[in-house]
Amino acid sequence: MEEIASNKISGGWQKRYQHQSEVLGCEMVFSVYLPPQAEQGAVPVLYWLSGLTCNDQNFVTKAGAQRYAAEHGVAIVAPDTSPRGDDVADDEAWDFAQGAGFYLTATQQPWAKHYNMYDYIVTELPALINAMPAIDSSRCGIFGHSMGGHGALTIALKNPDNYQSVSAFSPICAPMQCPWGEKALANYLGDDRESWSDYDACELIAKTEQQLPLLVDQGSADDFLVEQLKPELLEAACKDRGHPLTLRMQPGYDHSYYFISSFIGDHIKHHADALKQL
């Protein structure tokens, strides 16, 4: 792991690293914000998963999260959204392949060789992060936006022992029932729709035994709300199961980082409050 950038912000340090990923079979880059409290001892850590076409820098430069992370004393890790490189299979579409890993483990060729973002986020990346003296690996949360909101919800629901808090901005709530999800799941996983259910938050809600409270913010003016995101399906799944969900419809907000930056402070507080209780 090599540090390739370090900038002081909000009393802490915004750092960027690169490493060779064994899971993805390519070089990867990720960012870590260390709050000023990390200089005195280990701090809780949050993983942020970004959406389609993004990399680690979108959140770092647009969300305004560092001031809130410094206020609450939490680190934030922002990985890339997919494997990258000339040797990594790609597609001409903007919503599939590089930049669109969907936080799953692909089983179909040519994608299976590199597109193992689920394993990267759950296993390989935390092993690197937890080796940092500034990180308290026993206190960990996960959140994300759009495709990354889908990733945060599904990863937390499948690994309740790994994460003590979870939230999402405008997540793809039911990928088995929307064009973005159907395209990605069919290509990465094949035609067996039963295998798709492992990466669908609504399906996982019906199966989970441990009920981790969910916080979801969704803009009412989001162009993707009706066709792609479908928060009403998540709400119905949680109601049927009795799973705790706070779904906040925010009037007038769209799908952009203007929306995220408006409510990122609430989300970081949501996580910090949960993690400080441990």
Q: What percent of the chain has pLDDT over 90?
A: 97
* 79 belongs to a structural domain: yes
C-alpha–C-alpha distance, residues 248 and 210, integer Å: 23
* 235 belongs to a structural domain: no
Residue 277 has a pLDDT of: 73
* 185 belongs to a structural domain: no
* 182 belongs to a structural domain: no
Q: What is the mean pLDDT of the chain?
A: 97
Which amino acid makes up residue 102? Answer: F
For the chain, the domain total comes to: 1
Q: In terms of DSSP H, where are the helices of the chain? A: 56-62, 66-72, 117-119, 125-130, 147-158, 179-189, 193-196, 201-207, 231-241, 257-276
Average pLDDT over residues 219-233: 98
Residue 276 has a pLDDT of: 86
Q: Which residues are tagged catalytic?
A: 146, 222, 255
* 199 belongs to a structural domain: no
Place of tokens 């706070």: 246
Contact 66, 10 (CB under 8 A): yes
Contact 49, 156 (CB under 8 A): no
* 266 belongs to a structural domain: yes
Q: Is the pLDDT of residue 278 over 70?
A: no
* 135 belongs to a structural domain: yes
Average pLDDT over residues 96-118: 98
Give the chain's radius of gyration (CA, Å): 17
Q: Is the pLDDT of residue 202 over 90?
A: yes
Host domain of residue 79: 2-171+212-225+244-276
pTM: 0.97
* 193 belongs to a structural domain: no
Which amino acid makes up residue 187? Answer: N
Looking up residue 21, the CATH number of its domain turns out to be: 3.40.50.1820
C-alpha–C-alpha distance, residues 199 and 8, integer Å: 37
Average pLDDT over residues 163-171: 98
Helices (H) and strands (E) in the chain, counts: 10, 9
Residue 210 has a pLDDT of: 86
Residue 224 has a pLDDT of: 98
Q: Is the pLDDT of residue 171 over 70?
A: yes
Q: Summarize pLDDT for 229-266 with one digit per residue, the tens.
A: 999 999 999 999 999 999 999 999 999 999 999 999 99
Q: Summarize pLDDT for 47-104 with one digit per residue, the tens.
A: 999 999 999 999 999 999 999 999 999 999 999 999 999 999 999 999 999 999 999 9
